[in-house]
Amino acid sequence: MKYEPVIGLEVHVQLKTATKAFCGCANVFGSKENSNICPVCLGLPGSLPVLNEKALKAALKVALALGCQVRSFTKFDRKNYYYPDLPKNFQISQYDMPFSEHGSLDISLEDGTKHIRIKRVHLEEDAGKLIHPEEGADSLVDYNRAGTPLLEIVSEPDLHSPDEAYAYLTDLKLILQYLDISDCDMEKGSLRCDANVSLRPAGTTGLGVKSELKNMNSFRAVRLALDYEIRRQEAELGDGRLVVQETRLWNEKKQMTLPMRSKEEAHDYRYFPEPDLPPFVISASEIEEARQGLPELPKEKRGRFVASFGFSDKDAATLTAAKSLADFFEACLKLYDNPKKIAHWLIGPVSFQMNSRGQDIAGLRLSPAFLTELIDLVETGKISQLAGKEVLQEMLESGKPAAKIVEEENLAQVSDAGSLSAVIEEVIAANKKSVDDFKAGKENAVMFLVGQVMRLSRGKANPKTAREMLIERLKA
């Protein structure tokens, strides 16, 4: 029998507020262990939580960006469970009245977009962190993270392949980055994803028994874990066994999912309303204020780039695929009024440099002023396109402005016939075959010869002039 995978994702995002969700402790990563803690986030008797308004504001932005309905009357609940990283033995979360629900995200796939429903977005607090040193039998606990604000974004089971799950995560992360509410760094744990997956006979609409996958620390790992799990479930069903509902951990080393050891996770969280935080109202004006504060989101920016600059969908998508790149593009545009050329440089040579250095645009030694100055040197014919790429490379290494590099390296383009003709003679003498080809009517052979002129002149020759001169010389 053929099966269709059914996938729903729970994404946890750490909000980068200055302080924790319910107390005044600093919300920072990397401090000395157990230095950002207080009676409230440790749950000491008599301490009382107070909601951080900034966390709620950030949460509202996310909900609105995902098209969720905001519930005007909402509350927090206690989710009770015992685990050493949870000092209070309960987590403040939201159970049956999340502050927002019924949103959606249109994910981009190779063959178009797909509408994925978002079930709910709720606000909760994070737990601390357990550390298991390689040496010794003891585990350590760091409570700095306990009580930091976390959003849980839960999708409906509308995804049907590991690739769709990957696209969902990529598009969701981009929106979160544009909103600037989280670092979204999976390695640091500020973005986490649990993947729920089940199989059903192809062509049916019911839901099968799911397993919940945890412990993936990259989107790639989510895709691999889902791939593995789909094959595992297929094998179970194919052999006439049933899939059991369980939580499984992705093991990066073994590249497989394994059942979580403790079976105590019998999901009885004994939820009840948090008695120390009264239910509260989110007013229409608060929602409106959050809506007004929304930045231009990736989809809107893409649309505007296509409409205002005549970019292809693909180019617009590339330029907006990182907020830093889109911002860089717009900063260039303020200095140099040629969107097409700027896009060409960013998508071509600059992206090449980012990829080969494993950096994003912010990590490159490049400012909008430096890049647009370089583009201008090429566009005004002072240096060739090829020399321009060399200057870019040099600029990133030395941090010197383009004009200085051109001067120091003597890269200014040569288009005067006198200087070029010697190079052209040399190329003609050394490439008899191409010369004969050209004379025999293969007009394309001239391109090869132009290439040789460029090479010999170290990119300094003006290719247009070189081509004209070559043709004139060969036809004579």
Ligand X SMILES: Nc1ncnc2c1ncn2[C@@H]1O[C@H](COP(=O)(O)OP(=O)(O)OP(=O)(O)O)[C@@H](O)[C@H]1O
Query: Which residues make up the interface to Mg ion (CB under 5 A)?
Result: 10, 194
Cβ at position 463, least distance to ligand X in Å:
56
The angle subtended at Cα 191 by Cα 95 and Cα 219, nearest 5°, is 115
Cβ at position 274, least distance to ligand X in Å:
16
Cβ at position 298, least distance to Mg ion in Å:
25
List Cα–Cα distances, 343 to 110, 310, 311, 372, 398, in angstroms.
22, 11, 9, 11, 24
What CA–CA distance (Å, rounded) separates 375 from 388? 8
Pairing of strands 211-214, 246-251: parallel
Instruction: Tabulate helix, strand, coil % of the chain (nearest 5).
Output: 40, 20, 40
- Residue closer to Mg ion by CB (options 194, 390) is 194
- Residue closer to ligand X by CB (options 77, 183) is 77
What CA–CA distance (Å, rounded) separates 184 from 163? 20
Residue 90, both tokens: 């309960």
> Could you identify the residue written with the tokens 């120091």?
408
Cβ at position 157, least distance to ligand X in Å:
4
Q: Which spans of this chain sit near ligand X (rule: CB under 6 A)?
A: 6-10, 154-157, 196-198, 207-208, 210, 212
Cβ at position 260, least distance to Mg ion in Å:
12
Dihedral of alpha carbons 330, 335, 339, 343, sign = negative
259 forms beta bridges with 248
- Residue closer to Mg ion by CB (options 10, 101) is 10
- Residue closer to ligand X by CB (options 9, 364) is 9
210's contact among Mg ion, ligand X, none, with CB below 5 to 8 A by partner kind, is: ligand X
What CA–CA distance (Å, rounded) separates 389 from 405? 12
What CA–CA distance (Å, rounded) separates 229 from 219? 15
Residue 96 amino acid letter? D
Cβ at position 59, least distance to ligand X in Å:
16
Up-side HSE of residue 43: CA atoms within 13 Å toward CB?
A: 17
Cβ at position 260, least distance to ligand X in Å:
12
Cβ at position 79, least distance to ligand X in Å:
7
Name the DSSP class of 49: -
> What distance lies between CA 171 and its chain's CA centroid?
7
Cβ at position 190, least distance to Mg ion in Å:
17
- Residue closer to ligand X by CB (options 142, 212) is 212
With a CB cutoff of 8 Å and minimum separation 6, the contacts of 334 are: 368
List Cα–Cα distances, 302 to 116, 187, 235, in angstroms.
19, 28, 42
Cβ at position 129, least distance to ligand X in Å:
18
- Residue closer to Mg ion by CB (options 125, 390) is 125
Coil, strand, or helix at residue 148? coil
198's contact among ligand X, Mg ion, none, with CB below 5 to 8 A by partner kind, is: ligand X
- Residue closer to ligand X by CB (options 156, 379) is 156
- Residue closer to ligand X by CB (options 212, 315) is 212
- Residue closer to ligand X by CB (options 9, 58) is 9
- In the bound state, the residue with its beta carbon closest to ligand X is 8
402's contact among Mg ion, ligand X, none, with CB below 5 to 8 A by partner kind, is: none
207's contact among ligand X, Mg ion, none, with CB below 5 to 8 A by partner kind, is: ligand X
Specify the length of the chain in residues. Answer: 476
353's contact among ligand X, Mg ion, none, with CB below 5 to 8 A by partner kind, is: none
Cβ at position 245, least distance to Mg ion in Å:
11
Do the beta carbons of residue 218 and residue 166 sit within 8 Å? no
- Residue closer to ligand X by CB (options 208, 463) is 208
Do the beta carbons of residue 94 and residue 122 sit within 8 Å? yes
Pairing of strands 77-80, 272-273: antiparallel
Of the candidates 306, 311, 319, which has an alpha carbon nearest to the alpha carbon of residue 348?
319
- Residue closer to ligand X by CB (options 6, 428) is 6
What CA–CA distance (Å, rounded) separates 274 from 95? 10
What CA–CA distance (Å, rounded) separates 22 from 52? 6
101's contact among Mg ion, ligand X, none, with CB below 5 to 8 A by partner kind, is: none
